[in-house]
Amino acid sequence: MLSGTGRLLVSRLALEDGPLPRRLVETAFWPDLEQRTAARRLSRPLWRIRSHGSRRTAASSASASRPPATRSA
């Protein structure tokens, strides 16, 4: 089961038409934290989403998104 942050992240990505810069996600979820700390906090839910077998997210060092096959037309 995903944490509250994981569920919010999946919901946020589902509403987007394209990739979101990781910095934008980090700032939206943890505005009061240093960038480095926020980046670590984002890595954990992304890892958990992928480890649960979800193919609904893709992540790189610069962005997070749904894979193209799951985006609506």
- Reported in sequence order, the residue ranges of the chain that DSSP labels E, i.e. its strands, are 20-21, 58-59, 63-65
| Tens place of pLDDT per residue across the chain (73 aa) | 677 888 888 888 888 887 788 899 899 999 999 999 999 998 888 887 777 655 555 555 555 655 555 445 4
Contact 14, 65 (CB under 8 A): no
Report how far residue 24's alpha carbon sits from residue 35's, in angstroms, rounded to the nearest whole number: 10
